[in-house]
Amino acid sequence: MDFGSVVGQDLIKDSLRDAVQRHRLPHALLFLGKTGHGTLAGALALARYIMCENRSATDACGNCSNCHKSAKLIHPDIHFTYPTLGAKMTSLDFIVQWRQFVLENTYREVQDWFAFNNAENKQGNITALECARVLKNLSLKTFEGNFKIHITWMAEYLAKQANRLLKIIEEPPQNTFFIIIAENQDRILNTIISRCQLVSFPPINDEELIRALQDGMDSLDQQWATQVGFLSSGDMAKALTLVKAPEQVQAGQWLTWMRLVYKGSGIEMKEWADAFAKMDKESQKGFIQYGLFFLREMTLSKLNPSHQVRLLEKEKAALIKLQQLIDLASIQEVIDLVEGLIFHLERNANARILMLDASIQMHYLLRNNIHHVADIKSLSK
């Protein structure tokens, strides 16, 4: 992974390259943001850039011995810590799986890592033994080159064990860099945060994400790539999941549901509830997530008429018609209703009864606010 392979985040990449070139890179960095925003990808690219023997102003050379080893995650001076399974395990016990996992796709989430290792109901953590291993590794001289780099992925799993690393993070050996990666700052000890320079990774720009999807998948349809890019909200991990699981994108189903709940036919609502109950869990989740995305875009458009709605033309036309017929307070009621679906489904509520009840409630919400039958019937035309 080099900087050219990191999707978007140009300002961050420029800042990191400049710091390396001017020999002003902080010895401890905290990369904060979702994995899908490129935190791990950015850490790997930075490590490779630091280690490169012939780096340019923009990227690692890709040809030297250090670059080849960095690319394969086998450089002896680049060390990794990540959540593992088992109270007495260290990252070294999972290094083969880690290399395979990361080399397949750098934009993957921690739950993907646990599933990759068949975790089932086991809880991942970064153990005290792992912290001891880190201290030992960093006390040794470098094997090759002039630098030593330690990358900690998902530092939230350190918990109180992080206290063991405070001193070495604050006063590391010469030419040693820590890159700590986390998604939730609230779960990182303040004593760790205070010793690091924070680098926040925002969501990836829509256009850059869509372009990356198309560049990486030659057969990907432009319209499908655009829809996935919009629904992913700047998260490459989510985008790659949606590309592989199109059943999770339920745009047409959502608009169909909006029409039939307005109509209020008991038979049709019962048939819809039956169909919803037969969906697999991921499709049900996709339906709800798309609905929340649609409602979010409607809210933003209602608040700011100049907002660029991130929907395909057919869906955008439906949104424009619907937002003229429903006020902000009612949109929030609909959002609360849809979020309630998630809450109860996650607690194994009966999907058929749940959807039928939601359809009836939605019918009354829409009927109380919408007075133009012709408009609502044309939502998906």
**In the chain, where are the structural domains located?**
3-202, 207-244, 246-377
Of 76, 99, 87, 190, nearest to 153 by C-alpha is 99
CA distance linking residue 126 with residue 85, whole number of Å? 9
Determine the CATH number of domain 3-202.
Answer: 3.40.50.300
Q: Please report which confidence band the pLDDT of residue 316 belongs to, taking 50, 70 and 90 as the band edges.
A: confident
Cα 281–Cα 284–Cα 289 angle in degrees, nearest 5: 120
CA distances, 374 to each of 249, 314, 325, 377 (Å): 27, 17, 12, 5
Q: Answer for the pair 81, 151: CB distance below 8 angstroms, yes or no.
A: yes
What count of other Cβ atoms lies within 10 Å of the Cβ of residue 181? 24
Q: What is the mean pLDDT of the chain?
A: 86
Q: Is the pLDDT confidence value at 89 over 90?
A: no
Confidence (pLDDT) at 189: 86
What integer pLDDT is reported at residue 313 of this predicted model? 76
Tens digit of each residue's pLDDT (9 = 90 or more) over 212-266: 888 877 667 777 788 888 888 889 998 888 887 665 567 778 888 888 888 888 8
* Whether residue 207 has pLDDT greater than 60: yes
Q: What beta strand segments (E) does the chain contain?
A: 28-32, 78-81, 84-85, 124-125, 148-152, 176-182, 197-200
* CA dist 118 → 82, 240, 276 (Å): 16, 21, 29
At the second CATH level, the architecture of 246-377 is Up-down Bundle (1.20)
Spell out a b/e string for 13-27, using b for 16 or more CB atoms within 10 Å of the CB, else e: beebbeebeeeebeb
Which pLDDT band holds residue 298 (cuts at 50, 70, 90)? confident
pLDDT for residue 146 is more than 70: yes
pLDDT computed for residue 209 by the predictor: 92
- Confidence (pLDDT) at 123: 77
Question: Above 80 in pLDDT, residue 353?
Answer: yes
User: Do 246-377 and 3-202 fall under one CATH topology?
Assistant: no
Determine the pLDDT at residue 346.
82
- Of all residues in the chain, the percent with pLDDT exceeding 90 is 36
Confidence band, pLDDT 50/70/90 cuts, at residue 378: very low
Q: What percent of the chain has pLDDT over 70?
A: 94
Give the pLDDT confidence score for residue 375 in this predicted structure.
42
User: What's the confidence (pLDDT) of residue 369?
Assistant: 59
Q: In this predicted model, what pLDDT tens digit does every residue of 13-62 receive, in sequence order? A: 999 999 999 999 999 999 999 999 999 999 999 999 999 999 999 999 98
Q: Which of 26-30, 72-76, 374-378 has the lowest mean pLDDT?
A: 374-378
Q: How far is CA 281 from CA 214, 256, 286, 294, 348, in A?
A: 28, 19, 9, 20, 10
Task: Report the distance separating Cα 301 and Cα 144, nearest Å.
Answer: 55
pLDDT of residue 121: 67
pTM of the entire structure? Answer: 0.77
pLDDT for 246 equals 64
Instruction: Name the band, by pLDDT with cuts 50, 70 and 90, for residue 379.
Output: very low
Asked whether the beta carbons of 72 and 31 are under 8 A apart, the reply is: no
**Highest mean pLDDT: which of 10-19, 153-162, 283-292?**
10-19
pLDDT value for 263:
82
Q: Given this model, what pLDDT does residue 247 score?
A: 59
Question: Residue 324 above 80 pLDDT?
Answer: no
Q: Contact, 143 vs 65, CB < 8 A?
A: no
